[in-house]
Amino acid sequence: MKIIRFTTPGLQFQDGYHFRLGVLDGERVIDLTTKDPNTFGSVSGLLRLDEPAVAVAEAIQNAPALPLGQVQLEAPLDVQEVWATEVNYPGCRDARVAASSRNGGGALYERIFSAMRPELFFKATPERAVGPDQHVRIRVDSKRSVPEPSLALVINYAGAVVGYTIGNDICARDLADDNPLYLPQAKMYRGGCALGPCILLKEAVADPKALEITMRVERNEVLVFHGRAGVAEMKRSFEELADYLFRENDFVPGVFLLTGAAVLPPADFTLEHGDLVEIEVPLIGVLRNTVE
């Protein structure tokens, strides 16, 4: 099942919930919030459940539906933090080693890839994240920024992976390559993270490691980058990443974890204002954003 967070421009509901949760069902949206606002009035309510799929399957029985054309998709989070890991794919390791060798950082990324403990870092607050068809941003003080497509884990209050979405971890690559200590500035800024278009509950995926991530970048309606990678190339398991994230941390409303850049543009590529970035994962859909 695909869970979307949406608004309904021009429509109002008596329950007072402007942002709503629903199940995407073809050309219609089953309104979970109307059926059970206490549980499905927010993403936080969904991620307080031990088995969201069971609760959703019960809630959609006799729930009202809306035409898909009447809703606007929003980022599938409300108060959740977004975290991320890096150097989780061999291709990412090789690129980081090559880019950082000139400043002595190459060995650091080799060690991160082979270490027992993964690299985890804070990526975004909800206010810094955008949803499908919204604008992502590149830093004004960056000369080379790139999109970094990622399968994002949707993790509930107890640290269990309950679903997946698509993430775009925009990075000011020139800052991060210049000095690894600049990573927070390169990664954490407003409009530097995109999520969506939905939360695919884990029960809908027989083997998530069999998923593929495709990224396309268009500039003036011309394709300037296209790449694809398999999630199976990841070094670490989802459970391992979630376990380390929850060590000495509590995420009562749940949390999103980007599992690392699966596809990387070449070293001479940089995003430009007006670029269209599309990241596609079968079963989940397409996350589409324009660079502001």
Contacts 24+ apart (CB under 8 A), 158-161: 158/50, 159/242, 159/243, 159/245, 159/246, 159/251, 160/50, 160/242, 161/202, 161/238, 161/239, 161/242
pLDDT on residue 86:
87
Domain with CATH 3.90.850.10 in the chain: 81-291
**Helices in 139-219 by DSSP H: which ranges?**
173-178, 183-187
Q: What pLDDT band is residue 220 in, cutting at 50, 70 and 90?
A: very high
Instruction: Say which residue the tokens 């069971």 belong to.
Output: 54
Closest CA to 229 of 215, 240, 219: 215
- Looking at 27-36, 111-120, 237-246, 279-288, which range is the least confident one? 111-120
Class of the CATH domain delimited by 81-291: alpha beta
pLDDT digits (tens, 9 = 90+) for 152-190: 999 999 999 999 999 999 999 999 988 889 999 999 999
Residue % of the chain over a pLDDT of 90: 84
Q: What pLDDT band is residue 260 in, cutting at 50, 70 and 90?
A: very high
pLDDT digits (tens, 9 = 90+) for 82-140: 999 988 878 777 777 677 666 656 677 778 777 889 999 999 999 999 999 999 999 99
> Which pair of structure tokens corresponds to residue 73?
């998709």
pLDDT on residue 93:
72
> Mean pLDDT over all residues of the chain?
94
Q: What is the pTM (predicted TM-score) of this model? A: 0.95
Q: Is the pLDDT of residue 253 over 90?
A: yes
> Under a CB-based contact definition with an 8 Å cutoff, are residues 259 and 152 in contact?
yes
Please tell me which residue, 202 or 86, carries the higher pLDDT value: 202
